[in-house]
A and B are shown apart, each in its own frame.
Chain A
Amino acid sequence: MQNNGWDEFEIGAMLRSFDGEVKDIATTLQEDRNYSSSNSFTASVADWRIEKPVFNKDFCIDCQFCWIYCPDISIISRDKKMIGIDMDHCKGCGICVEVCPTNPKSLLMFPEQADEEAELAGWPEKDKEEK
């Protein structure tokens, strides 16, 4: 699109969310959608992050607090289970970590360059002081 001339856009700067026809989008999961290249789903804000969340499923109770309070639709929940983080869309705000109720937390923030395997291996123990 960057190289398109003025005559190659939809008039009125109109954008389409999807390529072709969509049926019942409200019950179609992201992986089954035919996103257009104009949908921000196809873009990334990964380079905004200074810190990143790492998910440790061993402690997760699938409460879905992280899902509902994520401002960036970056908590991937399927069949009522938290299955991972969408690292293209996560801006690293850290809300998911703050709202995680488990002990130890199932999500923790680490520097963007941190090695996920290493951080998981060194995950903190249960904190007895916490409620």
Chain B
Amino acid sequence: MSEIKKIKNLKEFSTSADRFEGANLLCPGCAHSIIVREVLNATNDDLVLSASTGCLEVCTAVYPYTSWDASWIHIGFENGSTAVAGAEAMYKALGNKGRLKQPDRNPKFVSFAGDGASYDIGFQWISGCFERGHNMMHVVLDNEVYANTGGQRSSSTPIGSSATTSPAGRVSYGEKKNKKDMMAIMAAHGSPYVAQVSPNKWKNMVKAIQHGMAVEGPVFINAVSACTTEWKFAPEDTMALQDLATDSLVFPLYEIIDGTELNITYRPKNVVPVEEYLAAQGRFKHLFKDEYKYLIKEWQERVDAKWDYLQRREEAKV
């Protein structure tokens, strides 16, 4: 096992040499890039990376430029996880056969994908990778929408959000379904480590990534990614939105170890009302009309209930 990179504080972290480059084509203020940097900088080990079709992929490998300083592959929308699984299988095969060019390395296999590529179209592929137990990490850049194609709803889009295929209108408040609970689904695969992270809580996130990279087997990371374009807020407010997401407990940060042991990894000192989180984003603007205000109340009740559930799970150690 390779040594875990020592990152005591942010100053020490800032000595990292990034393996993700600028002049990529992500929107100004895109959180995807911040997430990718925190994942890659969490280790000094070699990396074998993939991205499923989506914002990250389409903005970082547009010919003739690549923004990746580690080996990287993209096949399609649904199969980035399996691309990395195939590479990991080859790594094992060549290791067993004594044919690795650099046998002394400890590469980490990481696939990045959006919520659409993970919760929807790529779901089966991810499930297969996890059932088979590949030694890899799947990181979801969860912005709750198909942002790359212009903001269509995915199964990660929350109730009341206005997306282009679930638009708010004269007689509709937008998306009608609750967000899919991928954390529970992936934990149910018996994954050794499943965590929800947010890049504003960098230390928490880096710790989770390092934990995930240290264990054997398939690791699932759901990273909240505030989308300036589709959530409709100003690009400079990305980190403020990430703070609202974690501190309102709309995105509680927690981990599930070996499919059972649930730990809450971040407890906000001052919990922010969900209303503030919703009010900061154009996609929820219509909820503030009188006829839809009940939805905001329901949102708060849902978030409270989930937080209560997580705390009871943590306490019960099941």
Contact = CB atoms under 8 A, between A and B. Distances in A.
Interface string B62-80: 0111111110000000000
Contacts, number: 145
B240 interface: yes
Contacts of B12: 80
Q: How large is the interface on B (under 10, 10 to 19, 20 to 34, 35 or more residues)?
A: 35 or more
Interface string A20-62: 0000111111100100011111111100100000000000001
Given A13-B63, A27-B44, A65 B18 contact: no
Given A17-B68, A40-B60, A80-B11, A89 B23 contact: yes
A64 interface: yes
B24 interface: yes
Nearest to A63: B10
B37 interface: yes
The dominant DSSP class at the B interface is loop
A73 B10 contact: no
Contacts of B315: none
Given A28-B17, A64-B14, A15 B22 contact: no
Interface stretch (A92-100, A110-118, A119-127): A92-100
Given A40-B22, A48-B28, A69-B239, A26 B68 contact: no
A24 B17 CA distance: 10
B139 to A, nearest CB: 16
A27 B30 CA distance: 26
A88 B23 CA distance: 8
Interface residues of A, number: 52
B43 interface: yes
A80 B23 contact: no
Nearest to B61: A15
A102 interface: no
A121 B11 CA distance: 28
B28 A43 contact: no
Contact of B69 (A18, A64, A78, A91): A18
Interface of A: 1, 13, 15, 17-18, 24-30, 33, 37-45, 48, 62-65, 67-74, 77-80, 86, 88-95, 97-99, 109
